[in-house]
């Protein structure tokens, strides 16, 4: 049995355990995980119909059929629909005309499809498939860890070249364009984000880029990531300073550095996700910057850039071997500047494996 068929079988078993008669999965990382098909989300219906017991069917628009076949989804029958026909008839047909009591919908399904499926399958209670599939995707297999390691090495290679692009007198957008080209050159298939946040923009964790000109003495938060051809994601942040940093910034960067190291060191099987968050947060709060660390410590990563497990207060999920996630505490002083350090790590059988391996010290360019 191929890996794809094993995953489909595991998903069917998980659906059965959850009391679901079928999983209905639109284009998403879930679909890619189960079939290898990296489909576009379109207004035309693409849907994997995976009965808990029975043959899986992939419903695709006819013009997408060659792409679906090229993905070679083992053990999955492909059926297509033409423009103007009702594709939801194919959903009921794929379920053999059965009237399901409960179906699991992919978490990223568009609302218009949710409502059309409600009309097509009026007997079925609609629930989320995400929790069922997260149980499969949460612990990465060794080949997935190696895929994430390759992604980590690729993004590290981009950070290692930052001095070529990040200079006073250039705009954030100019620097980001160079970074984007380098993300592709390093082996990624797509660029997912290029945050270049200079000076006061660094205090906004999800600032993208702007036409702001970078000045001497300014800290710059650079958070970048992409997707590799196999679908696995990279995501890494380093904070740079163009010239000597302000004294206040240098002081809290040392706090952040210790906090990020402490959280990485806290990772091992059996500890909770919340305790890893606390390892970083307690140090930052003790130094007086608790209110300036305004987001969770991390997020899982795999075929989605953000997925389970979330490293956040209240998540008492015990870490297990194969769980991969970011450790990315930050300190943000509104109106002044900010800093974040982010590595992807994986929980091993005994501890932690960092998939980003560059030093985390402040880089002065």
For Zn ion, the binding residues (CB under 5 A) are: 223, 235, 237, 326, 342
Residue with smaller CB distance to Zn ion, 36 or 298:
298
Query: Hey, what are 84's tokens?
Result: 């103007």
In whole angstroms, how close is the CB of 224 to Zn ion at the nearest point?
Answer: 7
Residue closer to Zn ion (CB basis): 124 or 186: 186
Q: How far is the CB of 321 from Zn ion (least distance, A)?
A: 21
Rounded-to-integer distance, Cα 289 and Cα 237, Å: 20
CA end-to-end distance (rounded Å), the chain: 52
Q: Minimum distance between the CB of residue 328 and Zn ion, rounded to whole angstroms? A: 5
Say if residues 117 and 91 touch (Cβ distance below 8 Å): yes
Q: Which residues contact 139 (CB under 8 A, 6 or more apart)?
A: 320, 321, 322, 323
Cβ proximity to Zn ion: between 21 and 235 the closer is: 235
Q: What CA–CA distances, in Å, run from 54 to 14, 49, 58, 94, 132?
A: 14, 10, 13, 9, 18
* Other residues' Cβ atoms within 10 Å of the Cβ of residue 99: 11
Cβ closer to Zn ion: 64 or 235? 235
CB of 340 to Zn ion, least distance (A): 8
Residue 276: CB minimum distance to Zn ion, A: 14
Q: In this complex, which beta carbon is closest to Zn ion, that of residue 126 or of residue 315?
A: 315
Nearest distance in Å: CB 176, Zn ion: 14
Chain Cα centroid distance, residue 205: 16
- For Zn ion, the closer of residues 37 and 310 by Cβ is 310
Q: Is the peptide bond before 309 cis (omega within 30 degrees of 0)?
A: yes
């Amino acid at each position: 049995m191929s890996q794809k068929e094993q995953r489909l079988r595991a998903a069917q078993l998980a659906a059965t355990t959850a009391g679901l008669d079928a999983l209905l999965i639109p284009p998403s990382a879930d679909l890619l995980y189960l079939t290898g098909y990296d489909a576009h989300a379109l207004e035309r219906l693409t849907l994997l119909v995976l009965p808990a017991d029975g043959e899986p069917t992939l419903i695709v628009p006819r013009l997408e059929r060659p792409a679906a076949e090229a993905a070679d989804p083992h053990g999955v029958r492909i059926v297509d629909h033409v423009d103007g026909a009702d594709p939801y008839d194919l959903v009921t047909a794929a379920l053999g005309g059965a009237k399901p009591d409960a179906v699991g919908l992919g978490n990223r399904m568009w609302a218009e499809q949710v409502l059309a499926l409600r009309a097509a399958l009026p007997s079925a209670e609609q629930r989320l498939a995400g929790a069922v599939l997260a149980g499969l995707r949460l612990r990465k297999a060794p080949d997935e860890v190696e895929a994430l390691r390759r992604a980590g090495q690729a993004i590290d290679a981009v950070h290692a070249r930052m001095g070529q692009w990040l200079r006073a007198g250039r705009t954030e957008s100019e620097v980001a364009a160079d970074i984007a080209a380098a993300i592709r050159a390093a082996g990624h298939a797509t660029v997912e984000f290029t945050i270049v946040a200079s000076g006061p923009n660094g205090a906004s964790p999800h600032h993208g880029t702007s036409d702001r000109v970078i000045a001497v003495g300014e800290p710059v938060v650079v958070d970048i990531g992409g997707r590799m051809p196999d679908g696995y994601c990279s995501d890494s942040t380093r904070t740079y300073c163009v010239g000597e940093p302000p004294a206040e910034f240098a002081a809290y960067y040392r706090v952040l550095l210790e906090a990020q190291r402490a959280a990485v060191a806290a990772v091992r099987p059996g500890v909770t996700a919340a305790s890893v968050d606390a390892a970083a947060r307690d140090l930052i709060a003790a130094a007086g910057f608790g209110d300036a660390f305004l987001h969770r410590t991390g997020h899982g990563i795999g075929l989605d850039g953000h997925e389970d497990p979330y490293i956040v207060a209240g998540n008492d999920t015990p870490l297990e071997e194969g769980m991969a996630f970011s450790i990315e505490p930050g300190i943000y002083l509104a109106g002044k500047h900010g800093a974040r350090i982010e590595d992807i790590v994986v929980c091993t059988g005994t501890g932690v494996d960092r998939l980003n391996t560059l030093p985390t010290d402040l880089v002065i360019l």
